[in-house]
Amino acid sequence: MDSVNEYDVLGLFINNVNGTPLCFCMGPTGAERQLAKQLVEDGGGNFFDRRPNVEYRDRCIKLVAKGEIPLKKDEDMFDFKYVVDCSRSGTILPNLLDYRVNTRSHFAEYDPVDILLGNSKWSTLPKRDEGERVSDIEDMEEHDVARADREFKMFKSGRFSYSKKEQIEMLNYVFKRKACKLLKGNK
């Protein structure tokens, strides 16, 4: 994990035009959150837990950590690494849209940097025409679905699932030793 001392962020997260602090929010736990919070606050910005107060809600960028699944489909969420990369470069990067973790935005085409700088508000952004509701799973490739499934199982149980190759090796070992009767399954 990066150290806060590596960055010179003084005044980085303050809007140069009107002097207002830039606003971010993120879940209440995790090392990634602590790093992002420290960088934003050291740079003069505001950092909130899940919901910022009413004054900042319309221009707050919601951050998530790696592996965190955005539950609200009507909000755009961005990778916390945007804050880290801005701190590394010493400037507000114009490519915030590249850090969006949603596969599909609820809003029509927009620039999230305008929201961050206070030039636009979430409440005034035009919504995307929904059309027919379909599953997001169709957008994912087969290997992406398998990877997401493995990551979920890992998150859920804290254990790694066996690969297909490892499962076959275990079965071959059991058959070779004729130990089928010694095995017990989950009851």
Q: What's the whole-number mean pLDDT along residues 118-133?
A: 78
Q: Examine the pLDDT at 29 and tell me if it is beyond 90.
A: no
Going by pLDDT thresholds of 50, 70 and 90, the confidence category of residue 158 is low
Q: What is the pLDDT of residue 175?
A: 85
Query: Taking the CA of residue 138 as centre, how many other CA atoms within 13 Å lie in the half-sphere pointing to its CB?
Result: 3
- pLDDT-derived band at 24, boundaries 50, 70, 90: very high
Q: Give 150's contacts (C-beta < 8 A, 6+ positions apart).
A: 161
User: What is the rounded distance in angstroms from the CA atom of residue 67 to the CA atom of residue 107?
Assistant: 23
Would you say residue 34 has pLDDT above 80? yes
C-alpha Rg value of the chain to the nearest Å: 22
The string of pLDDT tens digits covering residues 77-115 is 899 999 999 999 989 999 999 999 887 888 888 888 998
Q: CA 116 from chain center: how many Å?
A: 17
**What's this model's pTM, rounded to 2 decimal places?**
0.64
Q: What band does 3 get if pLDDT is binned at 50, 70 and 90?
A: low
SS3 78: strand
For domain 4-130, give the CATH number: 3.40.50.10190
Q: How many residues does the chain have?
A: 187
Q: Where are the domains positioned within the chain?
A: 4-130, 141-182
